[in-house]
Amino acid sequence: MCITHLSGMQIKYQLEEEQIPKRWYNIQADLPTPLDPVYSPQTLKPVTPEELNVIFPMALIGQEVSQERYIDIPEEVREIYRYWRPSPLCRARRLEEQLKTPAKIYYKYEGVSPPGSHKPNTAVPQAYYNMKEGITRLATETGAGQWGSALAFATALFDMKCTVYMVRSSYFEKPYRKSMMQTWGAECIPSPSEKTQVGKAMLAKDPKTPGSLGMAISEAVEDAATHDDTNYSLGSVLNHVCLHQTVIGQESMEQFKQAGDQPDIIVGCVGGGSNMAGISFPYLGEKLRGKRKDLRAIAVEPSSCPTLTKGIYAYDYGDTAGIGPIAKMYTLGHDFVPPAIHAGGLRYHGDSPIVSRLVRDKVMEAVAVHQTEVFQAAVTFARSEGIIPAPESAHAIRVVIDEALKCRTTNEKKTILFNLSGHGNLDLAAYDDYFAGKLSDFEYPDSKIAESLTRLPKVG
């Protein structure tokens, strides 16, 4: 246990390596009713383990459907976690003073990992379980590049190959994420591409498409399904991904014991849901079990891709081409193509089925914010706390500041926790555009969303 005071202002709460969680927390055990079944895109019937085994290892399929509250973390995975875990919990005292708020603001900083984000928390176990089942290559998608670089890092540790389909707009806007992937030995391809049949069809339909996570997922799934040595790996959305990220929230619980405090509000950005799941699920498990009834959890998404706030709760494909499993979630329609915003990791048409269920059941709240106000908040945070946040994480910071300012008005001394899931050191082109006044706000028209929702699959 260690408490570090920096410059008389910032306080860091540190844990020892032995305190890295030994188990992942599975919130499915505490849901009032089980999640709705996942359907096969081929049969439109509940998908079988054998069908999923074409692209996933059986160990992860078991975690996907497990109802056990805790799942042991393999020691080989915990050894690698020691590269960066436990991550620090910091109190943002300078930000509090700048806002003149009675609220206390804490952030769990995941930017200390080698790839610079929370994504290795699941990339490492996914690579490990695939390696154990004899898989030698993983195919995946990435939006902003944080997930792609995390999986490239993980596969390098297990001497595996990695192919990353990167959303085309981000591929050209964030070239150094591609460089990170290549440094760790991965192949990075702008999506949609000529490498897959679905990619060729998408380019034929719209040669100038900015791409989307749904498109990149289609390419990665096709790649995995057509090569015996290759499996598919996903950095968000799926139950086992959310499970692996709960090391974040579990560590923060121990660190809050050091602080003698507890969060009243937990905030995280949401594209697919892994960031929010990681910081909030251990706390929301307590809420579901009858403790911490007043705890608020706020999921923040971009107004240009408002899945939780404008989508509908329905069955939909997880990818644009409709070749991946069909899950019940909040969705804007699988062929929805959001505008090319700088928070590329949040440009996904759907959401985690678990996050979606929690929002539908009002266990978790959801809000949407505009791009310019997000960068304004990011700059405020950087000038007070020193860390330049990734644009994705800055969505959470926007709402943290808003909630802290409400506390200034009401004089409530609430404690706010958010997940600073990655640094923005490779996103400086976005900051350049912000300072040059080139960023614009875009709110997707309801009519376009309604049109996309007419093509949902008919299952369930």
User: Residues 82-109: what's their mean pLDDT?
Assistant: 97
Measured CA to CA, the distance from residue 435 to residue 412 in angstroms comes to: 34
pLDDT of 164 reads 97
Measured CA to CA, the distance from residue 85 to residue 113 in angstroms comes to: 8
The CB density around residue 20, as the number of other CB atoms within 10 Å, is 19
- State yes or no: pLDDT of 436 exceeds 90: yes
User: Residues 165-181: what's their mean pLDDT?
Assistant: 90
pLDDT of 439 reads 86
Number of residues that make up the chain? 460
pLDDT of 345 reads 65
213 vs 268, residue with greater confidence:
268
Write down the CATH number for the domain with range 2-21+75-116+244-453. Answer: 3.40.50.1100
Strand duo 161-167 + 137-142: pairing: parallel
Give, as one character, the DSSP assignment of residue 39: B
Measured CA to CA, the distance from residue 28 to residue 33 in angstroms comes to: 9
| Average pLDDT of the chain to the nearest whole number | 93
Measured CA to CA, the distance from residue 222 to residue 141 in angstroms comes to: 11
Contact indicator for 367, 346 with CB cutoff of 8 Å:
no
Contact indicator for 296, 265 with CB cutoff of 8 Å:
yes
Q: Which of 16-25, 209-218, 256-265 has the lowest mean pLDDT?
A: 209-218
- Please name the residue ranges forming H helices in 193-302: 197-205, 213-225, 239-245, 247-259, 274-288
Spatial CA neighbour of 411 closest among 106, 91, 103, 92: 103
Give, as one character, the DSSP assignment of residue 260: T
> Which region holds residue 147: left if phi is over 0, alpha if psi is between -120 and 50, else beta?
alpha
pLDDT of 341 reads 58
pLDDT tens per residue across span 247-290? 999 999 999 999 999 999 999 999 999 999 999 999 999 999 99
Measured CA to CA, the distance from residue 146 to residue 129 in angstroms comes to: 21
- State yes or no: pLDDT of 380 exceeds 80: yes
pLDDT of 169 reads 86
pLDDT of 2 reads 56
300 φ, ψ to 5°?
-115, 130
The Cα-based distances of 247 to 68, 71, 77, 127, 364 in angstroms read: 16, 12, 12, 17, 20
Token pair of 223, please? 């790649």
pLDDT tens per residue across span 389-415? 999 999 999 999 999 999 999 999 999
**Domain parsing of the chain, residue ranges:** 2-21+75-116+244-453
pLDDT of 3 reads 57
Q: Which helix (H) or strand (E) holds 25?
A: strand 23-25
pLDDT of 340 reads 63
pLDDT of 1 reads 54
User: Residues 428-452: what's their mean pLDDT?
Assistant: 84
What distance separates the 2 farthest-apart alpha carbons in the chain? 62
Is the alpha carbon torsion for 303, 299, 407, 293 positive or negative?
positive
Measured CA to CA, the distance from residue 230 to residue 418 in angstroms comes to: 36
pLDDT of 346 reads 80
CA 212 to chain centroid, in Å, comes to 15
pLDDT of 450 reads 81
Half-sphere exposure of 83 (CA within 13 A, CB side): 19
Measured CA to CA, the distance from residue 267 to residue 399 in angstroms comes to: 7
> pTM of the prediction?
0.94
Measured CA to CA, the distance from residue 231 to residue 385 in angstroms comes to: 40
Spatial CA neighbour of 381 closest among 318, 424, 336: 424
From first CA to last CA, the distance across the chain in angstroms is: 50
